[in-house]
Structure 1
Protein backbone atom coordinates (compact mmCIF):
# COMPACT_ATOMS: atom_id res chain seq x y z
CA UNK A 1 0.00 0.00 0.00
CA UNK A 2 1.27 3.46 -0.92
CA UNK A 3 1.60 6.37 1.49
CA UNK A 4 -0.23 9.57 0.55
CA UNK A 5 1.64 12.80 1.33
CA UNK A 6 0.15 16.30 1.22
CA UNK A 7 2.91 18.90 1.15
CA UNK A 8 3.34 22.46 -0.01
CA UNK A 9 4.93 25.79 0.82
CA UNK A 10 2.63 27.63 3.22
CA UNK A 11 2.53 31.10 4.77
CA UNK A 12 2.68 31.41 8.54
CA UNK A 13 -1.02 32.30 8.51
CA UNK A 14 -1.83 29.07 6.66
CA UNK A 15 -2.15 29.94 2.97
CA UNK A 16 -0.59 28.24 -0.07
CA UNK A 17 -1.43 31.18 -2.34
CA UNK A 18 -2.06 34.81 -1.44
CA UNK A 19 -5.04 36.73 -2.86
CA UNK A 20 -5.04 36.69 -6.66
CA UNK A 21 -3.21 33.32 -6.62
CA UNK A 22 0.02 35.18 -5.82
CA UNK A 23 2.87 32.72 -5.16
CA UNK A 24 5.68 35.28 -5.20
CA UNK A 25 6.19 35.02 -1.45
CA UNK A 26 6.82 31.25 -1.65
CA UNK A 27 9.88 31.06 -3.90
CA UNK A 28 12.04 28.42 -2.18
CA UNK A 29 15.72 28.70 -1.30
CA UNK A 30 18.09 26.41 -3.20
CA UNK A 31 18.13 24.04 -0.23
CA UNK A 32 14.33 23.88 0.04
CA UNK A 33 14.01 23.47 -3.73
CA UNK A 34 16.44 20.52 -3.48
CA UNK A 35 14.23 19.01 -0.74
CA UNK A 36 11.13 19.23 -2.96
CA UNK A 37 13.08 17.85 -5.95
CA UNK A 38 14.35 14.91 -3.91
CA UNK A 39 10.79 14.20 -2.75
CA UNK A 40 9.70 14.26 -6.39
CA UNK A 41 12.41 11.71 -7.24
CA UNK A 42 11.01 9.33 -4.58
CA UNK A 43 7.38 9.84 -5.59
CA UNK A 44 5.57 7.03 -7.38
CA UNK A 45 2.60 9.12 -8.52
CA UNK A 46 1.83 12.83 -8.20
CA UNK A 47 -1.83 13.87 -7.88
CA UNK A 48 -2.98 17.33 -9.02
CA UNK A 49 -6.12 19.38 -8.91
CA UNK A 50 -6.93 21.67 -11.85
CA UNK A 51 -5.33 24.88 -10.57
CA UNK A 52 -2.04 23.38 -9.47
CA UNK A 53 -1.88 21.33 -12.68
CA UNK A 54 -2.22 24.46 -14.77
CA UNK A 55 0.53 26.17 -12.77
CA UNK A 56 2.92 23.22 -12.98
CA UNK A 57 2.21 22.33 -16.62
CA UNK A 58 2.68 25.92 -17.75
CA UNK A 59 6.27 25.93 -16.51
CA UNK A 60 7.97 22.57 -15.91
CA UNK A 61 7.63 20.87 -19.32
CA UNK A 62 10.15 23.30 -20.83
CA UNK A 63 11.86 24.79 -17.76
CA UNK A 64 15.09 22.92 -18.47
CA UNK A 65 15.37 24.61 -21.88
CA UNK A 66 14.79 28.18 -20.70
CA UNK A 67 17.60 30.74 -20.64
CA UNK A 68 19.14 30.87 -17.19
CA UNK A 69 17.87 27.44 -16.14
CA UNK A 70 19.95 26.25 -13.20
CA UNK A 71 21.15 22.66 -12.81
CA UNK A 72 18.47 22.26 -10.11
CA UNK A 73 15.77 23.55 -12.51
CA UNK A 74 16.96 21.14 -15.20
CA UNK A 75 16.92 18.18 -12.82
CA UNK A 76 13.46 19.04 -11.45
CA UNK A 77 11.99 19.54 -14.93
CA UNK A 78 13.30 16.18 -16.11
CA UNK A 79 12.02 14.43 -12.99
CA UNK A 80 8.64 16.14 -13.33
CA UNK A 81 8.18 15.14 -16.97
CA UNK A 82 9.21 11.53 -16.31
CA UNK A 83 7.08 10.83 -13.25
CA UNK A 84 3.54 9.45 -13.35
CA UNK A 85 0.92 12.12 -12.76
CA UNK A 86 -2.84 12.09 -12.38
CA UNK A 87 -4.96 15.23 -12.84
CA UNK A 88 -8.44 15.34 -11.34
CA UNK A 89 -10.64 17.80 -13.21
CA UNK A 90 -13.93 18.07 -15.05
CA UNK A 91 -12.78 21.15 -16.99
CA UNK A 92 -9.27 20.29 -18.18
CA UNK A 93 -9.52 18.95 -21.74
CA UNK A 94 -6.20 17.21 -22.19
CA UNK A 95 -2.98 16.40 -20.35
CA UNK A 96 0.49 15.37 -21.45
CA UNK A 97 3.91 14.56 -20.01
CA UNK A 98 3.19 11.09 -18.58
CA UNK A 99 -0.14 12.24 -17.15
CA UNK A 100 -3.59 10.70 -16.94
CA UNK A 101 -6.83 12.70 -16.62
CA UNK A 102 -9.57 11.55 -14.22
CA UNK A 103 -13.00 13.16 -14.44
CA UNK A 104 -14.86 10.86 -12.04
CA UNK A 105 -14.86 10.36 -8.28
CA UNK A 106 -11.48 11.65 -7.08
CA UNK A 107 -11.69 10.07 -3.63
CA UNK A 108 -12.48 6.62 -5.05
CA UNK A 109 -9.60 6.86 -7.54
CA UNK A 110 -7.15 8.07 -4.89
CA UNK A 111 -8.18 5.18 -2.62
CA UNK A 112 -7.70 2.74 -5.50
CA UNK A 113 -4.23 4.15 -6.31
CA UNK A 114 -3.27 4.12 -2.65
CA UNK A 115 -4.11 0.41 -2.39
CA UNK A 116 -1.57 -0.40 -5.10
CA UNK A 117 2.06 -1.23 -4.49
CA UNK A 118 4.63 1.42 -5.30
CA UNK A 119 6.33 4.56 -4.13
CA UNK A 120 4.50 7.23 -2.18
CA UNK A 121 1.91 9.47 -3.78
CA UNK A 122 2.10 13.22 -3.34
CA UNK A 123 -1.09 15.24 -3.58
CA UNK A 124 -1.19 18.94 -4.40
CA UNK A 125 -3.91 21.51 -4.55
CA UNK A 126 -6.04 22.52 -1.58
CA UNK A 127 -9.41 21.38 -2.91
CA UNK A 128 -8.23 17.95 -4.03
CA UNK A 129 -6.15 17.44 -0.90
CA UNK A 130 -9.07 18.59 1.26
CA UNK A 131 -11.25 15.84 -0.19
CA UNK A 132 -8.52 13.27 0.53
CA UNK A 133 -8.08 14.59 4.09
CA UNK A 134 -11.83 14.40 4.78
CA UNK A 135 -11.84 10.81 3.44
CA UNK A 136 -9.00 9.86 5.80
CA UNK A 137 -6.60 9.03 2.97
CA UNK A 138 -3.66 11.34 3.83
CA UNK A 139 -0.88 9.67 5.79
CA UNK A 140 1.60 12.51 6.04
CA UNK A 141 1.62 16.31 5.93
CA UNK A 142 4.65 18.37 4.88
CA UNK A 143 4.45 22.09 5.55
CA UNK A 144 7.31 24.36 4.49
CA UNK A 145 6.19 27.37 6.50
CA UNK A 146 7.52 30.74 5.31
CA UNK A 147 7.86 33.66 7.73
CA UNK A 148 5.26 35.77 5.97
CA UNK A 149 1.63 36.67 6.64
CA UNK A 150 -0.35 37.02 3.42
CA UNK A 151 -3.72 37.80 5.00
CA UNK A 152 -5.88 35.59 2.83
CA UNK A 153 -6.00 33.51 -0.31
CA UNK A 154 -6.07 29.73 -0.68
CA UNK A 155 -5.77 27.95 2.68
CA UNK A 156 -3.57 24.86 3.05
CA UNK A 157 -6.34 23.16 5.03
CA UNK A 158 -9.95 23.27 3.93
CA UNK A 159 -12.81 22.78 6.36
CA UNK A 160 -12.89 19.34 7.96
CA UNK A 161 -15.77 17.23 9.16
CA UNK A 162 -13.80 15.73 12.07
CA UNK A 163 -10.61 16.35 13.98
CA UNK A 164 -7.49 14.65 12.57
CA UNK A 165 -4.91 13.61 15.18
CA UNK A 166 -1.30 14.04 14.05
CA UNK A 167 2.12 13.24 15.42
CA UNK A 168 5.22 15.32 14.76
CA UNK A 169 7.74 13.30 12.73
CA UNK A 170 10.34 15.92 11.81
CA UNK A 171 11.24 19.59 11.94
CA UNK A 172 13.94 21.09 9.79
CA UNK A 173 14.98 24.71 9.31
CA UNK A 174 15.76 26.08 5.86
CA UNK A 175 17.36 29.37 4.78
CA UNK A 176 15.21 32.47 4.96
CA UNK A 177 13.48 31.39 8.16
CA UNK A 178 11.43 28.63 6.51
CA UNK A 179 10.59 25.76 8.84
CA UNK A 180 9.66 22.37 7.44
CA UNK A 181 7.35 20.35 9.68
CA UNK A 182 6.36 16.81 8.86
CA UNK A 183 3.41 15.19 10.59
CA UNK A 184 2.04 11.68 10.38
CA UNK A 185 -1.63 10.79 10.80
CA UNK A 186 -2.38 8.82 13.95
CA UNK A 187 -4.54 5.85 13.11
Structure 2
Protein backbone atom coordinates (compact mmCIF):
# COMPACT_ATOMS: atom_id res chain seq x y z
CA UNK A 1 0.00 0.00 0.00
CA UNK A 2 1.32 3.47 -0.96
CA UNK A 3 2.06 6.04 1.73
CA UNK A 4 -0.66 8.49 0.53
CA UNK A 5 -3.57 5.98 0.62
CA UNK A 6 -2.32 4.71 3.98
CA UNK A 7 -2.44 8.27 5.43
CA UNK A 8 -5.98 8.78 4.03
CA UNK A 9 -7.03 5.45 5.56
CA UNK A 10 -5.58 6.44 8.96
CA UNK A 11 -7.32 9.84 8.79
CA UNK A 12 -10.64 8.18 7.95
CA UNK A 13 -10.16 5.71 10.79
CA UNK A 14 -9.37 8.58 13.20
CA UNK A 15 -12.43 10.55 12.03
CA UNK A 16 -14.67 7.49 12.42
CA UNK A 17 -13.27 6.88 15.92
CA UNK A 18 -13.94 10.51 16.93
CA UNK A 19 -17.48 10.36 15.53
CA UNK A 20 -18.11 7.08 17.35
CA UNK A 21 -16.82 8.54 20.64
CA UNK A 22 -18.97 11.67 20.28
CA UNK A 23 -22.00 9.54 19.38
CA UNK A 24 -21.46 7.44 22.51
CA UNK A 25 -21.35 10.60 24.64
CA UNK A 26 -24.55 11.98 23.06
CA UNK A 27 -26.36 8.64 23.42
CA UNK A 28 -25.28 8.33 27.07
CA UNK A 29 -26.37 11.90 27.87
CA UNK A 30 -29.70 11.38 26.10
CA UNK A 31 -30.33 8.10 27.91
CA UNK A 32 -29.46 9.74 31.25
CA UNK A 33 -31.87 12.61 30.54
CA UNK A 34 -34.63 10.20 29.52
CA UNK A 35 -34.28 7.99 32.57
CA UNK A 36 -33.60 10.63 35.22
CA UNK A 37 -35.32 13.62 33.58
CA UNK A 38 -33.78 16.05 36.04
CA UNK A 39 -34.14 16.41 39.80
CA UNK A 40 -37.38 15.37 41.51
CA UNK A 41 -39.42 17.19 44.15
CA UNK A 42 -39.87 15.66 47.58
CA UNK A 43 -42.51 16.61 50.16
CA UNK A 44 -40.14 17.48 53.02
CA UNK A 45 -42.86 17.75 55.69
CA UNK A 46 -44.51 14.50 55.54
CA UNK A 47 -44.83 10.91 55.04
CA UNK A 48 -48.31 9.71 55.64
CA UNK A 49 -51.26 12.05 55.62
CA UNK A 50 -52.70 14.86 57.67
CA UNK A 51 -56.04 16.61 57.65
CA UNK A 52 -56.64 20.26 58.45
CA UNK A 53 -60.12 21.48 59.32
CA UNK A 54 -60.65 25.21 58.93
CA UNK A 55 -63.71 27.43 59.19
CA UNK A 56 -64.35 29.86 56.36
CA UNK A 57 -67.75 31.14 55.28
CA UNK A 58 -68.41 30.49 51.61
CA UNK A 59 -68.06 31.70 49.02
CA UNK A 60 -64.64 32.98 50.02
CA UNK A 61 -60.91 33.12 49.21
CA UNK A 62 -58.29 32.04 51.73
CA UNK A 63 -54.66 30.93 51.80
CA UNK A 64 -52.49 28.55 53.82
CA UNK A 65 -49.10 26.86 53.92
CA UNK A 66 -49.34 23.47 52.24
CA UNK A 67 -45.88 21.93 52.68
CA UNK A 68 -42.13 22.43 52.50
CA UNK A 69 -40.76 21.28 49.15
CA UNK A 70 -37.19 20.37 48.23
CA UNK A 71 -35.25 18.53 45.53
CA UNK A 72 -33.83 15.03 45.95
CA UNK A 73 -30.71 16.05 43.99
CA UNK A 74 -29.11 19.35 42.90
CA UNK A 75 -30.73 21.24 40.04
CA UNK A 76 -33.68 23.50 39.36
CA UNK A 77 -37.36 22.83 38.63
CA UNK A 78 -40.37 25.04 37.87
CA UNK A 79 -43.67 24.40 39.65
CA UNK A 80 -46.36 24.87 37.00
CA UNK A 81 -49.60 23.94 38.76
CA UNK A 82 -51.13 22.89 42.07
CA UNK A 83 -54.45 21.03 41.94
CA UNK A 84 -56.76 19.93 44.75
CA UNK A 85 -57.41 16.22 44.16
CA UNK A 86 -60.86 14.68 44.58
CA UNK A 87 -62.13 18.12 45.60
CA UNK A 88 -65.80 18.63 46.45
CA UNK A 89 -67.87 21.63 47.47
CA UNK A 90 -66.31 24.09 45.06
CA UNK A 91 -62.71 23.96 46.32
CA UNK A 92 -60.15 25.22 43.75
CA UNK A 93 -56.51 26.30 43.97
CA UNK A 94 -56.30 29.72 42.29
CA UNK A 95 -52.74 30.81 43.13
CA UNK A 96 -49.54 29.38 44.61
CA UNK A 97 -45.94 30.33 45.32
CA UNK A 98 -42.74 29.07 46.92
CA UNK A 99 -41.75 31.40 49.76
CA UNK A 100 -38.93 31.43 52.31
CA UNK A 101 -39.97 30.80 55.90
CA UNK A 102 -40.09 33.93 58.09
CA UNK A 103 -37.26 34.01 60.69
CA UNK A 104 -38.35 34.55 64.30
CA UNK A 105 -36.36 36.29 67.09
CA UNK A 106 -35.61 32.99 68.87
CA UNK A 107 -33.76 31.60 65.84
CA UNK A 108 -36.70 29.58 64.52
CA UNK A 109 -39.06 30.30 61.66
CA UNK A 110 -42.77 30.56 60.98
CA UNK A 111 -45.08 30.43 58.00
CA UNK A 112 -45.60 33.48 55.84
CA UNK A 113 -49.36 32.85 56.12
CA UNK A 114 -50.46 34.74 59.21
CA UNK A 115 -54.04 35.57 58.24
CA UNK A 116 -55.68 32.59 56.62
CA UNK A 117 -58.73 34.53 55.41
CA UNK A 118 -56.66 36.78 53.17
CA UNK A 119 -55.39 36.24 49.64
CA UNK A 120 -51.90 34.97 48.98
CA UNK A 121 -50.74 38.42 47.84
CA UNK A 122 -52.09 40.03 51.03
CA UNK A 123 -50.26 37.48 53.17
CA UNK A 124 -46.98 37.91 51.30
CA UNK A 125 -46.99 41.66 52.02
CA UNK A 126 -44.46 42.26 49.26
CA UNK A 127 -42.13 39.39 50.26
CA UNK A 128 -40.43 37.62 47.34
CA UNK A 129 -42.25 34.63 45.90
CA UNK A 130 -41.31 32.31 43.05
CA UNK A 131 -42.28 29.15 41.19
CA UNK A 132 -38.62 28.09 40.81
CA UNK A 133 -37.25 25.50 43.25
CA UNK A 134 -33.53 24.80 43.67
CA UNK A 135 -33.18 23.94 47.40
CA UNK A 136 -32.17 20.34 48.02
CA UNK A 137 -33.50 18.36 50.97
CA UNK A 138 -30.09 18.81 52.65
CA UNK A 139 -30.42 22.61 52.65
CA UNK A 140 -32.19 22.80 56.03
CA UNK A 141 -33.44 26.33 56.69
CA UNK A 142 -33.26 27.22 52.99
CA UNK A 143 -36.13 24.87 52.08
CA UNK A 144 -39.14 27.01 51.06
CA UNK A 145 -42.79 26.48 51.88
CA UNK A 146 -45.42 26.03 49.20
CA UNK A 147 -48.29 28.39 49.95
CA UNK A 148 -51.60 28.21 48.13
CA UNK A 149 -54.63 30.40 47.65
CA UNK A 150 -57.95 28.59 47.51
CA UNK A 151 -61.39 29.64 46.38
CA UNK A 152 -64.37 28.10 48.14
CA UNK A 153 -67.05 28.90 45.59
CA UNK A 154 -70.17 27.80 47.48
CA UNK A 155 -71.47 27.72 51.05
CA UNK A 156 -71.30 24.49 53.04
CA UNK A 157 -68.60 21.87 53.58
CA UNK A 158 -65.84 21.62 50.98
CA UNK A 159 -62.95 19.16 51.01
CA UNK A 160 -59.99 17.67 49.21
CA UNK A 161 -58.00 14.52 49.96
CA UNK A 162 -54.69 16.05 48.90
CA UNK A 163 -52.89 18.15 46.33
CA UNK A 164 -51.03 17.32 43.12
CA UNK A 165 -48.00 19.53 42.46
CA UNK A 166 -46.99 19.56 38.80
CA UNK A 167 -43.54 20.72 37.76
CA UNK A 168 -41.03 20.81 34.88
CA UNK A 169 -37.66 19.16 35.36
CA UNK A 170 -35.17 18.00 32.75
CA UNK A 171 -37.49 19.11 29.97
CA UNK A 172 -40.35 16.90 31.17
CA UNK A 173 -43.48 17.34 33.28
CA UNK A 174 -43.66 15.45 36.58
CA UNK A 175 -46.10 15.32 39.48
CA UNK A 176 -45.82 14.76 43.20
CA UNK A 177 -48.86 14.09 45.38
CA UNK A 178 -49.05 15.76 48.78
CA UNK A 179 -51.29 13.75 51.09
CA UNK A 180 -52.66 16.70 52.98
CA UNK A 181 -56.42 16.56 53.36
CA UNK A 182 -58.36 19.76 53.83
CA UNK A 183 -61.88 20.20 55.18
CA UNK A 184 -63.38 23.69 54.93
CA UNK A 185 -66.52 24.20 57.00
CA UNK A 186 -68.85 27.09 57.59
CA UNK A 187 -67.98 29.28 60.54
CA UNK A 188 -70.79 27.95 62.73
CA UNK A 189 -69.04 24.54 62.66
CA UNK A 190 -72.24 22.66 61.93
CA UNK A 191 -71.80 19.21 60.42
CA UNK A 192 -68.05 19.58 60.10
CA UNK A 193 -66.39 16.20 59.46
CA UNK A 194 -63.02 15.46 61.00
CA UNK A 195 -61.58 13.73 57.92
CA UNK A 196 -61.27 14.74 54.31
TM range (shorter): under 0.3
Instruction: Specify which structure has the higher proportion of strand.
Output: 2
**What is the TM-score when the length of structure 1 is the normalising length?**
0.25
**What is the TM-score when the length of structure 2 is the normalising length?**
0.25
Instruction: Specify which structure has the higher proportion of helix.
Output: 1
Higher RCO, 1 or 2 (CA under 8 Å, sep at least 6)? 1
